Amino acid sequence: MAVAAHRLNHSAVSATHCEECGDKLLDERRKAYPGCTMCVACLEIVELRKKQGRS
């Protein structure tokens, strides 16, 4: 967890809306994960598909 936090690009600009579903990203998420482009729900779906070998 500490390594992942260290790798965050704190100068990155987060999207205001999810690139997958278009929902507004929560300010808390945008602050916690600079450069984020997806909501948690969509990110989980994308990661599950990658894990299963689908895009």
Give tens-digit pLDDT for 22-47.
Answer: 999 999 999 999 999 999 999 999 99
Q: Are 18 and 38 in contact (CB under 8 A)?
A: yes
Domain ranges, ordered by start, for the chain: 2-51
User: How does residue 13 score in pLDDT terms, banded at 50, 70 and 90?
Assistant: confident
Task: In whole angstroms, give the CA distance from residue 21 to residue 55.
Answer: 16
pLDDT the model gives residue 53: 86
Q: Supply the mean pLDDT for the chain.
A: 84
Look up residue 24 and give its amino acid: K
Does pLDDT of 48 surpass 80?
yes
Does pLDDT of 11 surpass 80?
no
pLDDT the model gives residue 39: 96
